[in-house]
Homo-oligomer: A and B are copies of this chain.
Amino acid sequence: MQIAILLFDGITALDAVGPYEVLSRVPEAQVVFVSTEPGPKRTSNQVLALVADRSLTEVASPDVVLIPGGSGSRALVRDEAVLAWIRQAHTTSRWTTSVCTGARVLGAAGVLRGLEATTHWLSLDELADYGARPVQRRVVEQGKVITAAGVSAGIDMALLLAAREAGEDVARSIQLSIEYDPQPPFDSGSPLTAAPAIVELARTRAQVAAGRPA
């Protein structure tokens, strides 16, 4: 099973690395990091580069397509090479998936039309522009299309995918091998549980980080 994870400048690293850490442990799975041009791709804060080893044309029909998010995904919705690759790969994939704002790229490729889908809570409304029905849920499975919520949600999605492909016992053993027994010190991981003041703080900080007026 070949799993292609798209890299691009402006990626959110955990969107890609969370699922990678799970899916690379699925028996017989081969994870490959792909990009329009191979080479290092930087996060939007410029702090970390992840290396794409293969071009999109070298990995034309992966079994799993995984599109991470990040501010760079805004440019991808107008990147015809990426959109054409997604459309083509989606015709033969077993699973076509996104994490966080990677959903907008699936949307721009037409993959989400008529489907329920999710993304980072700050971008949820945008999915309607692509004909999807936005839902505030951690992981949304619609046939072979799976979308996950913001950043860390890709880990949960990947465990689901591991169970679908290799069975629940293997998925459970992968969960144990990455010791995914989350104990966040706070309960502020969702706009549904965080206090309103925290939601506003996160919103403001995101706007400042994006260079837009708060």
Contacts and interface: CB of A to CB of B under 8 A. Distances in A.
Interface string A176-196: 111111111110111101110
Interface residues of A, number: 69
Interface string A151-162: 111011001100
Per assembly, the copies of the chain total 2
Given A169-B201, A176-B198, A189-B175, A181 B138 contact: yes
Nearest to A119: B179
Secondary structure of the A contact surface, majority rule: mixed
B176 A152 contact: no
Interface string A131-169: 000000011000000000111110110011001000011
Interface of A: 12-14, 17-18, 20-21, 24-25, 31-33, 40, 43, 45, 47-51, 53, 100, 120-121, 138-139, 149-153, 155-156, 159-160, 163, 168-186, 188-191, 193-195, 197-199, 201-202, 205-206
Contacts of A120: 179
Given A14-B17, A175-B186, 11 more contacts: A14-B21, A14-B178, A149-B179, A149-B181, A150-B177, A160-B185, A173-B188, A173-B198, A175-B194, A181-B189, A181-B190
